[in-house]
Amino acid sequence: MTRATADSTDIRSAQTFATDEDLLPRVLAPYKEHCRYLLAAEVSGLPGGLSRVRATFAIPESCYIDDTGHLNAVEVNIAYNQMMYYLVAKSVKERLLTGFESWTLEDFWRHQLPDILIARFASRFRRPVDPRDFLGEMEFRSVDLRSPGGRPLLTATTAYRYWDTEGGRCDGDATLAFVDIT
């Protein structure tokens, strides 16, 4: 296993990028119209070639169940996916994320659905979160290049959290696998 590293003094680690109004709709294009929960997203570079996103969400109506009155596990996962896809796309575009230095946005579009997998996903619900108006944050904690059986793949550990203005809280972590990256 080889850990991909970046120079922590890279100027990109100090930059923050407001919502990319051209990129966001393209990232969300695979989702059905009523399942596009991510409204805005600000991406920041972090030291060590990592990145973070802070996002605004609204789920006016659940896409699969009657109103529960709170953010539920399925919606947490959908919101995570949208936040993660946007973070990877913006990080590729701005050259923020270790392990993706050779990727272009065209590479991201090609890999978005078939080759970016959630290998592990965990959620902890602390207090109910209002799904109609909430915030989220996700960050890459590490990105590792592996070559099991000679086929390179990137694995990434991430952490996320959601909250609302009434003290609702949910957090968790996920491990991603980026397969067929060549």
State pLDDT tens for residues 71-95: 999 999 999 999 999 999 999 999 9
Rg (CA), the chain: 16
CA distances, 17 to each of 28, 125, 138 (Å): 18, 29, 15
3-state helix/strand/coil string of 9-69 = CCHHHHCEECCCCCHHHHHHCCCCHHHCCEEEEEEEEECCCEEEEEEEECCCCCCCCCCCC
HSE, side-chain direction, 13 A CA sphere, residue 177:
14
- Distance CA(161)–CA(139), nearest Å, equals 10
Model confidence band, residue 152 (pLDDT cutoffs 50, 70, 90): confident
The 8-class DSSP code of residue 182 comes to -
Could you tell me which of 121, 154, 122, 159 has the C-alpha nearest to residue 139?
Answer: 159
Beta bridge partners of 38: 57
* Contacts with 114 (C-beta within 8 Å, 6 or more apart), sequence order: 180
83 within 8 A of 53, measured Cβ to Cβ = yes
**Tens digit of each residue's pLDDT (9 = 90 or more) over 31-57:** 999 999 999 999 999 999 999 999 999
Model confidence band, residue 66 (pLDDT cutoffs 50, 70, 90): confident
